[in-house]
Amino acid sequence: MYPAPFEYHRPGSVEDAIALLTTYEDDAKLLAGGHSLIPLLKLRFAQPKHLIDVRHIASLSGVREVDGAIVIGATTTHATLERSPLLRQMLPILPEAASQIGDAQVRNMGTIGGSLAHADPSADLPAVMLAVGAEMTAVGPRGARTIRAEEFFVDLLTTALASDEVLTEIRILVPAVGTGGAYEKYPHPASRYALVGVAAVVTLAGDAMQRAQIAVTGIGSTPSRAREVERALAGRPADAETIAAASSHVADGIEVRGDLTGPAEWRGAVAREHAARAITRAVQRARGEWATGARSA
Amino acid sequence: MATATTPTRPLIGARVTRREDLRFITGRGRYTDDITLPGTTYAAFVRSPYAHARITRIDTDAARRARGVHAVYTGADLAAGGVNGIPVGWVLPDMKLTDRRAIAVDEVRYVGEAVAVVIADTPYTAKDAAELVAVEYEELPAVTDAVAAMQPGAPVVHANAPNNVCFHWTIGDAEKTDAAIRGAATVVRQRLVNQRLIPNAIEPRAALASYNGATDELTLYVTSQNPHVHRLIMGAFVLGVPEHKFRVIAPDVGGGFGSKIFVYPEEVVMCWATRQLGRPVKWTAERRESFMTDAHGRDHVTDVEMAFDARGTVLALRVKTVANLGAHLSLFAPAIPTYLYGTLLNGVYAFPTIYAEVDGVLTHTTPVDAYRGAGRPEACYVLERTMDIAARQLGIDPAELRRRNFVPAGSFPYQTPVALSYDSGNYAPALDRALQMIGYDAFRAEQEAARREGRYLGIGISSYIEACGLAPSQVVGSLGAQAGLWESATVRVHPTGKVTIFTGSHSHGQGHETTFAQLAADELGIAIDDVEIVHGDTGRVPFGMGTYGSRSGAVGGTAIHMSIEKIKEKGRRIAAHLLEAAPEDVEFSGGRFSVKGSPDRGKTFAEVSLAAYLAHSMPAGTEPGLDATSFYDPSNFTFPFGTHVCTVEVNPRTGVVKVLRYVAVDDVGNVINPMIVDGQLHGGIAQGTAQALWERAVYDEGGQLLTASLMDYAVPKADMLPLFETDRTVTPSPVNPLGIKGVGEAGTIASTPAVANAVLDALSPFGITHLDMPLTPATVWQAIQSATRRG
Amino acid sequence: MTRISLTVNGITHEHDVEPRMLLVHYLRDTLGLTGTHVGCDTSQCGACTVVLDGERSVKACTMFAVQAAGAEVLTIEGLAHDGTLHPLQAAFREEHALQCGFCTPGMIMAAYGLLRANPHPSEAEIRAGLEGNLCRCTGYHNIVKAVQRAAQEMEAPSTDQAGREGRVFTPVSVAPVAAD
Ligand SMILES: Cc1cc2nc3c(=O)[nH]c(=O)nc-3n(C[C@H](O)[C@H](O)[C@H](O)COP(=O)(O)OP(=O)(O)OC[C@H]3O[C@@H](n4cnc5c(N)ncnc54)[C@H](O)[C@@H]3O)c2cc1C
Ligand code: FES
Ligand code: FES
C-alpha cells in the first residue's frame, strides 16, 4: 500500500521523456495511466527511483484516421477507445475489447500504450493488436522505428521496446470491406483480467472465409496468433461446423497455464468455446455491420 | 396527542429509512482509520513468510536508526514488558490451551504471524523501516490440512497437543443412533468438505491507541463488534490495565461478519506501544494483512450418515467432523464447531436420534473462528446437501422429502436430540410459499424440456433453522463460555422528554440507530427524532456483550424494552401523584399518562419527565430523575427458520453456473423494520452464494496462502448476482416480549446449500451426485468430463 | 517533496507532497477528507473512488497526488450542494443501499461516473458499471435499485445535477462482461 520513495518528472514532450530515460537509465520508469505500475509499486515489487509521467504529453493522446489507417496515441485511455465514434464505426473489435478491461475506473486511467508496453500475459488488448495486425511506433534516442505486433510481444512482461524507448502510437489499417472482428473474454472471477481472451478478424469472400486472423491471450505466457485455427478457417465456408472444428485448435502449440481457477485442460476448453464465439460473431459482423461501417473508398 | 385513528405503534414494523445513513452518504462517517490524534505515530508489522519456523535472530538496528522511526519491538520486548498471551473465551473439557502471543516469540506458526513492529512518523516511513528488520528463520515442516494434521508423524503445531487434536467433542446418543442406522431401510452416506473462507469486511481492521500519562488513562479506538469484551479481555488478561482506566471505543465499523469480534494481536500491540511511547499509535491493516490475519471461517471435513425408513422418514443422523482451528485458538473458536454446530444438526427435521463427534485440530494456518453464521451454516449445509442426495437416492421429490420430515407445527416447544429446545415454528408454510413463488412445478417441466435441448437447468431447496439471540448465560456458562451472554440497556430520559439510549449492542451495518429508536419511540409514544442511540463506547455505555450471533434485536432490543417498562412505571407513579390519582388508575398510551375513564385528565411524557427532574412534587419515597438500566438474560435462544429456493443454468461446455432466480421466504418472528430485514437477507444470500460458487481460501503444501488478495479471492461483484425475491411468514418468538427472532445470519445459512443443490440438480443427468464447493466452472466442467468419460 | 496545486470540491489547494503519496492519502491525511476510504491494496474494491475533472471516476489509491496536480477532484464530501443531497445520495438512503456504509462513498462516486457516461443504464449495465466496487453487506440488490432511482430522479427537469450535460454513449460490448 505504501510505495518506496521516487522522484517524479512530468516532461512536456516525447523528446524530454527520452532525455530523462537516457539520463536515469535503469533507475527510471515511464508512468502512463499507472494501472499496472502503481499496483506493483504499492506492493514494492518494483522500486524505480524516477517516474516519468507521459500522460500529459498532448501529442501522445487521441484516435484519428490518417491515410487509410487508424492511429491511436499511446496514452489514449481504454475509456476513450471504448467510446471513440471512429473506432466504433471502423474497428468495433477494439472498443469491444477495451470495454471489458478491468472496471470503469481502471478504464478511465489505463492506457493502450501502457497495456501493450507492460505485456501482461492476461491483458486484453495485445490479442486484439495481433488479430488486427497493428504496428507500434517506438521513439528513442536513435529515432523512431516501427514494430509489428507479432514481433512486439516477446514473452511474459517482455516486449521488443528498448528501455530507453517510448511507445508513441499504434497504427491499424482500416479493414477491407467484408471484414469483421470480435473479441470474446472469459474474465478471472476476482481480478477480471482475461483467463481467456480470443480476438478474431475474418474477411469474407462470398460465403467463404478469405482470410482469418485469430489471436489468443490469457492462456499462455504471452499472447499469440492461433495459426492452426487460421489455417483451418482460410478458404472454407463460414459455417458452424468449420468454426467448431477450427476452434478446437486454438491452444495448439501453446503451453496452457493452469492456476487456482482451474487446470490447463479446462482453460483449453474455455478457450475453444470462446474462439468459436469470437469467430462466429466476427463472421456476423463481416456480413453486416462492419462492412457497412467501413468506408467504401 | 393520540386520537382514535392514530396507531399506537406507528413505527414498529414500518419501513423507516435509516437515521445513520446521512453521515455515510455525505462522507462524514467516522471509522477508526479516519481518526487521527495530535502526535499520532504509525505502526507497520513485520510478518512471517513461513508457515512454520523457528526465529533464530532478529536484527532491528537498521530499522531503529531509520528516518522517522520511534521504536521497533519484538515478541521478546512485549514479554519482558509484561504482556500476557491472548486467552480463549470458551473452554471445552480436556481442551489443549495454546499460548498465543501478540508478537511471536521463538516460533512462528502461520504465514503472516507478526514477528516485529515498527512505529514511525508516517505509514510510509514505518513501511520503509519494516523492510530493514532482518529476521533469520529456520524453516520447519508445516501442515495445513486438518485431516492430515491428525495423522501420526504430522508436524506438530503446539507441543502440548502432540497429535494436533485440540479437543474431541461429542453430542447426542451414540448407541441409539448406531442402532437406528443398523436397522434402517436406507442410509445415505457422504463426505462433505465445507471449505475455508476469508471474511473480507470491506473496512480493514484498524486500531488507534492513546495513553495519557498524566491521568493514566488508555483509550483504544478499534474496529470491534464488542468493545466491552475487548476491554475486559485486554485489560484484565493481556495487558493488566484496570478497566476503569481503559476506554475502548468502536466508532463506525465497516462490516464485521464475525471477524471483528475477536481480540487480535495488533490491538494489543497498539495499547502496549502507546504506553511505552507516550504518543498515539495507529495501525490499519492492508488488505493483504486482512487476508492473512483476520480469523478465517468454516473449514470442516464431515462424514455424514442419514438413515431413513422405507417410506422416507428420517430415523437417525450420525456426523463426524474434523474442524480446522488454525495455528492458535481464536477467542470463540472452540464454540463454533461444537455448540454452534453440533446442536444445530437437528435442523427443521424430526430426527429421533442424532450423534455427532467433532475433532478440533490445530494446523499451520490462520486461526479460524466465527464467520457469519458461525457453525450454523456448516450444520445447515450438512443437512440440506444430504437431504438432496437422499431425495435422489430414495426417488422422492426433494421438496416432498423435506415436508414429510419437518417437525410438525403443533409440537412446539420442541426438544431436539441435540440439547436445544425450539421456541416456536411452522415450517411447511414457508416451504410452500417459496415453491409457489419460484413456480416449482412449472420449473420442473421447463427443466425437462431444456434437457432435451442439451441445456442444464437446476433447482435447489434449503430449509434452514438458525439459533439466534445468544444466549442464556447459565446455559452457555455450563458449556464452557468464559462470559455471560446477556445484554444491557440504559434508557436516560432528559428533563425535556428527549431520550438517550445506551446499548451494549453494537451496530456495524445492522441499523440499530434506527430500529432501536423505532422501538423506543413507539413504546414511549414520542417522535423518533427525540430518541438517540449510543453504542460502541465503554466510556458511555455501562456494559454490553456486543453484536454477533444475530443477538441484537432479540437480546439487546429486549433489554431496551425492559428499561422502558421501568421508565413507564416510574412515570406512572409520578403522573398519578401530579394528577392526584392512584397509580393503578393511570394508563400510558400515545406518549401520555392519563386517568382511566377521564382521558382529558393527563400529563404528557415530557411533562412527567420535567417533573421528575424538577422534583418539586414527587410521590413519597420516589427518587428524582428518570432513567433505568436493565440487563436482559434470555431464557432461551430464538429459532428463525425458512426455505430458500434457487434456480441455475449450467453451461456444459465451460462449466459456468448462472444463477437465474433466488427466492427466500423467512420467518424471523416479529419485524421492527422490514427494509432492514430484507437488507440483512440480501447481504447474507450474497455471502452464502459466494461460498457455494466462488470463494475459497487455498494454502499450498508448504503453508503459503495462495489467495491473499482480492485479485485471487473472489468476493462477489455486482454483476455476479441476481436480484433477490423475498417474502416472510411470521411466527413470533415466545422467548422475548417483543416476539423477535433475529435475522443477521439467515441469508448466509440458507443460501449456500440452496445454490449448491441447484447446481447438483442441474448436473443430475450426468449421474453426478455430489461435488465439493466452491462449484467453480472448472470443478463443474471436470466433473462433467469424467462423468461423460465414464459413459 | 514536490509542490502541487489541485482543486478539490471546488477549493484550490497547494501543498508540498512526497511524490510517492497516493492521492487517497493526500485527500484523507493532508486535507482531512476521510469520506474517501481505503479497502484494499490491489485496486479492486473501489472504496477510494473519486471523480476527476468532472466526469471520470478513478481509484484514488491507484494514483499519486502528484499525478493529480492541476486536476479537479470531486469527493463524496463535495457532492451535496447547499445542503441538498445529490439524487444518488438521496436514492441510496431511500433504497437502503448501504449497511455499514464503508463502501458507500466509493460506490456513489462510481455511480456518478456511470450516470455521466450512460444516464439510462439497464440493470445489467448498472451491475457491469459497478464491477470496480465491492460491497460485502448489501448483496448489491438495493444498490442497483438506488442507481435506477437516481437515474430517474436526474431525468426530472428540475435537477441540474451531473449527467445532464455529460457525453452520452451506449456500451458497445455485446458480450456480457461477466463470464457465462
Ligand atoms: C483492478 C485492475 C484491473 C485490471 N484489469 C485488466 C483487464 O481486465 N485487462 C487488461 O488488459 N488490463 C487490466 N488492467 C491493467 C490496465 O489495463 C492497465 O491500465 C494497463 O495494463 C497499463 O496501462 P497504464 O497506462 O496504466 O500503464 P502504466 O501502469 O503506467 O505502465 C505500465 C508499464 O508500461 C510502461 N509504459 C507505459 N506507457 C509507456 C509508453 N508509452 N512507452 C513505453 N512504456 C510505457 C511503464 O513504464 C510500465 O512499465 C487492470 C488493472 C487494474 C488496476
Ligand atoms: S482502495 Fe481498494 S480500489 Fe482503491
Ligand atoms: S455497505 Fe458495508 S460494504 Fe457496502
CA A141 to ligand 2 center in whole angstroms = 37
Cross-chain residue pair B17–C20, CB shorter than 8 Å: no
Domain assignment present for residue C172? The answer is no
What confidence tens digit (pLDDT) does each residue in B710-726 have? 999 999 999 999 999 99
- What single string gives the DSSP state of each residue in B434-480? HHHHHTHHHHHHHHHHHHHTT-EEEEEEEEEE--BS---HHHHHHTT
The answer, for C137 touching chain A at a CB cutoff of 8 Å, is no
CA C134 to ligand 2 center in whole angstroms = 9
Question: Which of C133, C154, C143 has the alpha carbon at shortest distance from C86?
Answer: C154
- What single string gives the DSSP state of each residue in B658-725? EEEEEEEEEE-BS-S-HHHHHHHHHHHHHHHHHHHHT----B-TT--BS--STTTS----GGG----E
**Burial category of B99 from C-beta neighbours within 10 Å (exposed 0-12, middle 13-18, buried 19 and up):** middle
User: What pLDDT band is residue A270 in, cutting at 50, 70 and 90?
Assistant: very high
Q: Name the residue with the closest Cα to ligand 1, atom 37.
A: A114
Q: Which among C98, C103, C178 is the nearest to B719, CB-wise?
A: C178
Domain assignment present for residue C176? The answer is no
Domain assignment present for residue A10? The answer is no
Q: Which fold has domain B297-470+636-790?
A: Aldehyde Oxidoreductase; domain 4 (3.30.365)
Question: Which of A251, A233, A250 has the alpha carbon at shortest distance from A242?
Answer: A233
CA A250/CA C151 separation, integer angstroms: 43
**Containing structural domain, residue C110:** 87-167
Whether B255 and B201 have beta carbons less than 8 Å apart is answered as: yes
Question: Which of C27, C48, C32, C44 has the alpha carbon at shortest distance from C106?
Answer: C48
Q: Name the residue with the closest Cα to ligand 3, atom 2.
A: C100
Letter string b/e over residues C85-104, b meaning 16 or more CB atoms within 10 A of that residue's CB = bbbbbbbbbbbbbbbbbbbb
Distance in angstroms between the alpha carbons of the first and the last residue of chain B: 77
Whether B644 and B750 have beta carbons less than 8 Å apart is answered as: yes
A256 and A202 in a common domain: yes
The answer, for C151 touching chain B at a CB cutoff of 8 Å, is no
Domain boundary among A173, A198, A225: A173
Instruction: Lowest mean pLDDT of A189-193, B426-430, B596-600, C57-61, name the range.
Output: B596-600
| Cβ-based contacts of A263 with chain B (< 8 Å) | 778, 782
Distances (CA, A) of B597 to A230, B83, B516, B574, B593: 94, 66, 32, 19, 12
Q: Is the pLDDT of residue C147 over 60?
A: yes
User: What pLDDT band is residue C159 in, cutting at 50, 70 and 90?
Assistant: very low
**Angle, CA of B291, B293 and B294, to the nearest 5°:** 75
Question: Which of B667, B715, B295 has the alpha carbon at shortest distance from C137?
Answer: B715
Domain assignment present for residue A144? The answer is yes
**Containing structural domain, residue A192:** 184-286
User: What pLDDT band is residue A140 in, cutting at 50, 70 and 90?
Assistant: very high
Which amino acid, one-letter code, is at A163?
Answer: S
Domain assignment present for residue C54? The answer is yes
Q: Is C38 in the pocket of ligand 2 (CB under 6 A)?
A: yes
CA B764/CA B769 separation, integer angstroms: 7
Whether B323 and B468 have beta carbons less than 8 Å apart is answered as: no
| Cβ-based contacts of C180 with chain B (< 8 Å) | 651, 654, 656, 658
Q: What's CA B573's distance to the chain center, in Å?
A: 42
CA B103/CA B259 separation, integer angstroms: 19
* Ligand found nearest the CA of A196: 1
Whether C75 and C33 have beta carbons less than 8 Å apart is answered as: yes
3-state secondary structure of B571: helix
Whether C95 and C145 have beta carbons less than 8 Å apart is answered as: yes
| Cβ-based contacts of B255 with chain C (< 8 Å) | 99-100, 102, 136-137
CA C37 to ligand 2 center in whole angstroms = 8
Give the alpha-carbon dihedral of C56, C62, C65, C67, to 10 degrees: -70
| Cβ-based contacts of A184 with chain C (< 8 Å) | 175
In C, minimum Cα distance to B200 occurs at C136
Sign, CA dihedral B121-B127-B133-B139, equals positive
Q: What are phi and psi of B502, to 5 degrees?
A: -105, 115
- Residue A107 sits in a domain whose CATH number is 3.30.465.10
3-state secondary structure of C174: coil
To which residue does cell 458480450 refer?
C175
CA B705 to ligand 2 center in whole angstroms = 21
Q: Which fold has domain B32-140+204-253+260-293?
A: Aldehyde Oxidoreductase; domain 3 (3.90.1170)
* Ligand found nearest the CA of C49: 2
Domain count, chain A: 2
Question: Which of C52, C69, C8, C59 has the alpha carbon at shortest distance from A56?
Answer: C69
Whether A127 and A216 have beta carbons less than 8 Å apart is answered as: yes
Domain assignment present for residue A102? The answer is yes
Domain boundary among C78, C95, C116: C78
A248 and A160 in a common domain: no
- Per-residue pLDDT, B544: 66
Cross-chain residue pair B23–C101, CB shorter than 8 Å: yes
Q: Is the pLDDT of residue C175 over 60?
A: no
Whether C19 and A67 have beta carbons less than 8 Å apart is answered as: no
**Burial category of B767 from C-beta neighbours within 10 Å (exposed 0-12, middle 13-18, buried 19 and up):** exposed
Domain assignment present for residue A9? The answer is no
Domain assignment present for residue C133? The answer is yes
3-state secondary structure of A203: strand
- Residue C41 sits in a domain whose CATH number is 3.10.20.30
What percentage of chain A has pLDDT greater than the value 70?
Answer: 97
| Cβ-based contacts of B715 with chain A (< 8 Å) | 190
The pLDDT of A139-165, averaged and rounded, is: 95
Sign, CA dihedral C91-C94-C95-C97, equals positive
The answer, for C118 touching chain A at a CB cutoff of 8 Å, is no
| Chain C interface disruption, residue of A36, A103, A124, most C CBs within 10 A | A103
Q: Is C45 in the pocket of ligand 2 (CB under 6 A)?
A: yes
- Per-residue pLDDT, A290: 43
Domain count, chain C: 2
CA C128 to ligand 2 center in whole angstroms = 17
A134 and A84 in a common domain: yes
- Residue A198 sits in a domain whose CATH number is 3.30.390.50
CA A66 to ligand 1 center in whole angstroms = 26
Q: What are phi and psi of B677, to 5 degrees?
A: -60, -45
- Per-residue pLDDT, C164: 39
CA B326/CA B160 separation, integer angstroms: 15
Kindly report, as residue ranges, where domains of CATH 3.30.365.10 are found in chain B. Answer: 297-470+636-790, 486-632
Cross-chain residue pair A2–B127, CB shorter than 8 Å: yes
Domain assignment present for residue A20? The answer is no
CA B435/CA B430 separation, integer angstroms: 9
Q: Is C49 in the pocket of ligand 3 (CB under 6 A)?
A: no
C162 and C92 in a common domain: yes
- Per-residue pLDDT, C170: 42
Domain boundary among A173, A203, A234: A173
Q: What are phi and psi of B646, to 5 degrees?
A: -130, 145
To which residue does cell 466510556 refer?
B539
CA B764/CA B395 separation, integer angstroms: 13
* Ligand found nearest the CA of A160: 1
- HSE-up of residue B710 (Cα within 13 Å, Cβ side): 26
Entry field: residues in chain A: 297
Domain boundary among C33, C57, C78: C78
A91 and A144 in a common domain: yes
Q: How many helices (H) and strands (E) does chain B have?
A: 20, 28
**What is the enclosing helix (H) or strand (E) of C110?**
helix C104-117
Q: Which among B284, B654, B718 is the nearest to C140, CB-wise?
A: B718
Q: Nearest C-alpha of chain B: how many angstroms from C100?
A: 4
- Residue A68 has a CB neighbour count (10 Å cut-off) of 9
Entry field: residues in chain C: 180
Cross-chain residue pair B712–A190, CB shorter than 8 Å: yes
For C7, the grid coordinates are 482543486
The answer, for C5 touching chain A at a CB cutoff of 8 Å, is no
- Per-residue pLDDT, C144: 98
Residue ranges for chain B with pLDDT beneath 50: 1-6
3-state secondary structure of A76: coil
> What part of B 278-317 touches C (C-beta under 8 Å)?
284, 286-288
Domain boundary among C55, C78, C101: C78
Domain assignment present for residue C178? The answer is no
- Per-residue pLDDT, B48: 98
Q: Which fold has domain B486-632?
A: Aldehyde Oxidoreductase; domain 4 (3.30.365)
Domain assignment present for residue C129? The answer is yes
Q: Is the pLDDT of residue A149 over 70?
A: yes
What confidence tens digit (pLDDT) does each residue in B540-562 have? 887 766 655 556 667 788 888 99
- HSE-up of residue B745 (Cα within 13 Å, Cβ side): 31
Letter string b/e over residues B29-44, b meaning 16 or more CB atoms within 10 A of that residue's CB = bebbbbbeeeebbbbb
3-state secondary structure of C11: strand
User: What pLDDT band is residue A293 in, cutting at 50, 70 and 90?
Assistant: very low
In C, minimum Cα distance to B201 occurs at C136
The answer, for C147 touching chain A at a CB cutoff of 8 Å, is no
- Per-residue pLDDT, B545: 65
